[in-house]
């Protein structure tokens, strides 16, 4: 699958190192690009949490998506799942060292957004105020 993508790109004359980058970006998105994974990781970054606690902190997530997301993260070795044989059940989720290192890598992106979201909002407003700027075929100045 990935190799066929690489072959396809190589055939188009795309430089090999660029092909690698493109595949990596694909992997990034496959792992943290969905709606809830990144959010769950950053919430867990502040400490271990039980299922219900996560369900409250990750605003808007359904039980279905939470358990699904957590299973995926556990599968990848990014979080641990610890079940205590109690009644009522008690299950704790926590980041593994691998998960923590990912969380730190994500921090860079989060900081970037924090530092530049004002700029983006301003650019967006400017763009929207120019009439017909949202169409690509516009007159050349």
Distance CA 91, CA 52 (A): 9
Distance CA 55, CA 70 (A): 11
Q: Considering CB distances under 5 to 8 angstroms, the limit depending on partner class, which of DNA, a second copy, none binds residue 16?
A: none
Using CB under 8 A as the binding rule, whether residue 16 contacts a second copy is answered as no
Distance CA 35, CA 141 (A): 40
Residue whose C-alpha is closest to residue 49's, from 76, 73, 79: 79
Contact 136, 62 (CB under 8 A): no
Q: Which of 18, 20, 27, 90 binds DNA (CB under 7 A)?
A: 90
Using CB under 7 A as the binding rule, whether residue 82 contacts DNA is answered as no
* Assigned token pair, 4: 């066929």
Using CB under 8 A as the binding rule, whether residue 62 contacts a second copy is answered as no
* Assigned token pair, 119: 């700029």
Contact 22, 9 (CB under 8 A): yes
If you ran DSSP here, which 8-state letter would residue 34 be given?
Answer: S
Using CB under 8 A as the binding rule, whether residue 63 contacts a second copy is answered as no
Using CB under 7 A as the binding rule, whether residue 27 contacts DNA is answered as no
Residues that bind a second copy (CB under 8 A): 5, 8-9, 12, 14-15, 18, 21-22, 24-29, 31-35, 38-39, 42-43, 46, 56-60, 67, 70-71, 74-78, 81, 83-85, 91, 98, 101-102, 105-106, 108-114, 116-117, 119-120, 122-124, 127-128, 134, 136, 138, 140
Residues that bind DNA (CB under 7 A): 34-36, 50-53, 60-65, 67-68, 70-71, 81, 83, 88-91, 93, 135-137
């Amino acid at each position: 699958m990935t190799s066929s993508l690489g072959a396809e790109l190589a055939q188009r004359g795309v430089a090999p190192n660029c092909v690698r980058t493109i595949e990596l970006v694909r992997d990034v998105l496959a792992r943290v690009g969905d709606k809830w994974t990144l959010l769950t990781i950053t919430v867990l970054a502040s400490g271990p949490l039980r299922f219900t606690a996560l369900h409250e902190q990750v605003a808007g997530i359904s039980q279905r998506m939470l358990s699904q997301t957590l299973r995926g993260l556990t599968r990848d070795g990014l979080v641990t799942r610890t079940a205590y044989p109690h009644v009522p059940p008690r299950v704790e989720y926590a980041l593994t060292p691998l998960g923590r290192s990912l969380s730190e890598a994500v921090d860079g992106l989060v900081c970037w957004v924090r530092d530049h979201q004002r700029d983006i909002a301003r650019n967006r407003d400017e763009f929207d105020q120019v009439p017909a700027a949202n169409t690509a075929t516009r007159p050349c100045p």
